[in-house]
Structure 1
Amino acid sequence: MPVKHEKHSIVSMILLLVFIFLATDIIGKNIHKYYFKSLFRKNDREKEYRIPSNYYHHGLKPNINITKTLWGNVFYPIATNSLGFKDKRPREILLSSGSYRILFIGDSFTEGVGIAYENTFVGIIDNVLQKKGIEVLNAAVCTYSPSSYYAKVKYLIDVAGLKFNELVVFIDISDIRDEAVLYRLDGDKVVDRKEELKINAALNEKYKADLKKKRGCYQKIEEILRRDTIMTYLMVKNVHDLFFSRDFSYDYDSINFREASWTFNKGIYDEFGRAGLEKCAGSMDRLANLCRDKKIILTIAVYPWPDQIVHHDLNSLQSQFWTNWAKKSGVKIINYFPHFIQPNDDTARIRAILDSYFIPGDVHWNNEGHRKVANIFLSDFSIQTIK
């Protein structure tokens, strides 16, 4: 009888210790979340410098200098020049320059969210080319798409009076969704697509619900543990990894985005991909014609999201479409897909690429990703002339 009582006491003690450990872990996680939530709220200053535009929908406030702002879980400084372009510091930009001048435009990747200007690919290119007497400006802003590219460049040339020699447009994977459901051109100005946006919101919810249904029992448990604990999650994860391989979706919040999936998912391509490409091409045609009229060299660039890397989407619809468009339009294209994706990449190689070049839990490049993009651009750069 004493032996049985002793075993019962040991089991009770173990259960009590497990309960105390789990309770402490949950409390610690909640303190951690509360602390960082307060810290993030304090430093979330985007509303101070992201402003609306009557011409190109939205932009950045001119001549701001904020030492700490927030993108996701990343703190970084941001400054803009007199034109409202992200820059190394607030400064006056002359509308006309005696130097060869390159204007970059794109969305959040080209703006360089989460990264100080000097570490963005545009900032790195700027630093290198200024030593050769070439001036670099960055007109990119989050959630721009081809209609924004056209409207902003048109405004900068015809209204602001900005002079430049070359335009480099980084066309994002999400531009196709944005052009189909968010924005449209009304004359030379960008306006919202209201009805399409409502339909897209409903389809987004369906897509997220379908993803949840596909998750296995263990993945659901790990998701709960990651949300509510620290040590328990790490212990369970490490034990699981000893015996089982891990799906990318366990560790990377940067994949399974609907706006990126149109290049390899036919259903999503049918929802907005086909129409989005057509609308993008229309806006880019107008931009190409504008550049020809103003004798401005046009270059475009395309690059993958983590979703394309995970799905080995080397010969992507994105790169194929814009390669054909560039050939037809007589403009240079820089295709970054082969620099991030190789046909025989295994799981370890894909994980290394995602860990090396992207902000954790984010689709955007980290410092090394921006350096890679800049180096590829610079390795092939030469001043072009109008043919």
Structure 2
Amino acid sequence: MMFKKIFPSLFFFFLSIFIWAIQYGFDLIIGDADGKIKVWDIYVFIGFIQIFLMLCALLWIPEVLRRFRGNFSATYEELLKRNSVSVLICFILFFFMCIDLIGSIFFNEREIERVHTASYYRTQHPCFHHGLVHNMASEAFWGDIKYPLYTNSFAFRDSAAFEAKQNLDKKQIVFIGDSFTEGVGVAYENTFFGRMRKEFSNNTEIELWNAGCVSYSPLIYYNKIKYYTEVENLKIDYLWVFIDATDVQDELNYKDFRPNCNQKYLPKAGMADSYRYKMIEDNSLFDIYKNHSLFVRLISNTYINFFTDLSADKKMYYYNNRFAWLDNEEIYQEWGKEGVKLAQNNMQSLVELCKEKNIKLAIVVYPWPIMLNNYDKLSSFIRLFMNFDYIFVVNLLILFQIVLVFA
């Protein structure tokens, strides 16, 4: 009799438990025991189905209470009629659940593939935060621009994917910088480094390597050179560091980064599965549903766009004002001064590392187009590094001649 009284809610509750058991039990028996269901090579997150069933169980509690008072319906039609509101809400929830399930499978999958395609050739690194994957041949993206990307076994951008080996009879020149030095959005042969490499391809005295990568800054320059010289045993005779005004903003983004440069790390290309199903990395139940539910993500993004002060996001705030510190005293005092200090201290660390390793250092300060017609911005930036030896403020068109003289 008790079972009959609570059956309406109990039915949905046990159905939810049953689906959970299928999800984990089925995968435990024939899968890899990670609790993830894979259909047609697509991970399917069914948590919102369970939420739907639990909500239905709650919606039928009024009927359970009626039955505890001895008020049972005589027919099935009467049962539906006196619970018409609960039935209607269940159907509405079921409708949205189906749309959400389809959306999570197809629309989210497309987004996952887009993110994976746009970034799988980049990787995190415990010592210098991030870099490129070694021996990679792929199509890369910079906004809507698609271009070929190749890396060698040093994980440096190159003309092709190959096992790199230094010719120790030649002077080894390493360039390092951010996206401009890496050459994002441009085929290798059209980057300034690619043109320089071609220019000196028949030179028997020097060999050039490009260690540049997007969003690098003095902290990353120091850590990467330290890692490659001490862990990877890369020979460097000359180091050319390419600095621009955005390095100050990037320094603030990395100020909480704690590098681990004591052991060799072999980064691998990002796998689509790591983007497709991130439950282990998610920090809260809300994050899980936001990453896998179309509606939760839509609601979350709507809230962020209309009710959140985006300026509170420090990284975005720095990015949107990345040049303002040069001629805006208020912004300079707010965060530019700290970024400048970090940049100068980390560059000094790099100078000392180069002296220790007997590496001849050149610091190349180059302007962005926005700075060319603003002498105050350009001169303010250049003055930051005037106390360092071997500083060059150059037009990159004459960089070929400078390299020849320096080497």
Q: Give the 3 Å change call, closer, same or farther, for CA 87–187 of structure 1 in structure 2.
A: closer
- CA shift, 1:383, in A, is 5.1
1:142 aligns with 2:214: yes
Distance in 1 (alpha carbons) for counterparts of 2:315 and 2:259: 32
Q: Gaps spanning 5+ residues in structure 2: where?
A: 1-109, 263-308
RMSD over equivalenced CA pairs, Å? 3.0
- One-letter amino acid matched to 2:403: F
Q: Give the 3 Å change call, closer, same or farther, for CA 96–160 of structure 1 in structure 2.
A: farther
Normalised by the length of structure 2, the TM-score is: 0.56
Match of 1:120 among 182, 191, 197: 191
Contact 1:103 1:166 in 2 (8 A): yes
Q: Equivalences for 1:179-190 in 2 at 5 Å?
A: 179-183=251-255, 186=258
1:306 aligns with 2:328: no
Correspondence for 1:78 = 149
- One-letter amino acid matched to 2:325: W
- CA shift, 1:127, in A, is 1.0
1:170 aligns with 2:251: no
Correspondence for 1:332 = 390
Q: Give the 3 Å change call, closer, same or farther, for CA 200–110 of structure 1 in structure 2.
A: farther
Correspondence for 2:400 = 378
Task: Give the count of matched residue pairs.
Answer: 251
Distance in 1 (alpha carbons) for counterparts of 2:345 and 2:261: 14
Distance in 1 (alpha carbons) for counterparts of 2:369 and 2:384: 19
Correspondence for 2:312 = 202
Contact 1:95 1:161 in 2 (8 A): no
- One-letter amino acid matched to 2:221: Y
Question: SS of 2:124's equivalent?
Answer: strand
Question: SS of 2:120's equivalent?
Answer: helix
Distance in 1 (alpha carbons) for counterparts of 2:310 and 2:240: 30
Q: Equivalences for 1:1-387 in 2 at 5 Å?
A: 45-66=117-138, 68-95=139-166, 97-133=168-204, 134-183=206-255, 186=258, 202=312, 257-313=320-376, 315-322=378-385, 324-326=386-388, 331-336=389-394, 339=395, 373=396, 375-382=397-404, 384=406
Distance in 1 (alpha carbons) for counterparts of 2:384 and 2:328: 16
Normalised by the length of structure 1, the TM-score is: 0.59
Correspondence for 1:225 = none
- CA shift, 1:205, in A, is 9.7
- One-letter amino acid matched to 1:50: R
- CA shift, 1:78, in A, is 0.4
Distance in 1 (alpha carbons) for counterparts of 2:325 and 2:310: 14
- CA shift, 1:201, in A, is 5.1
Q: Gaps spanning 5+ residues in structure 1: where?
A: 1-37, 191-198, 209-255, 340-372
CA displacement, residues 264-283 of structure 1 (integer Å, 9 cap, x when unaligned) = 22222112221111111111
- CA shift, 1:297, in A, is 0.6
Distance in 1 (alpha carbons) for counterparts of 2:166 and 2:150: 19
Q: Give the 3 Å change call, closer, same or farther, for CA 74–313 of structure 1 in structure 2.
A: farther
* Percent of residue pairs bearing the same amino acid type: 34
Contact 1:301 1:333 in 2 (8 A): yes
Question: SS of 1:283's equivalent?
Answer: helix
Contact 2:344 2:384 in 1 (8 A): no
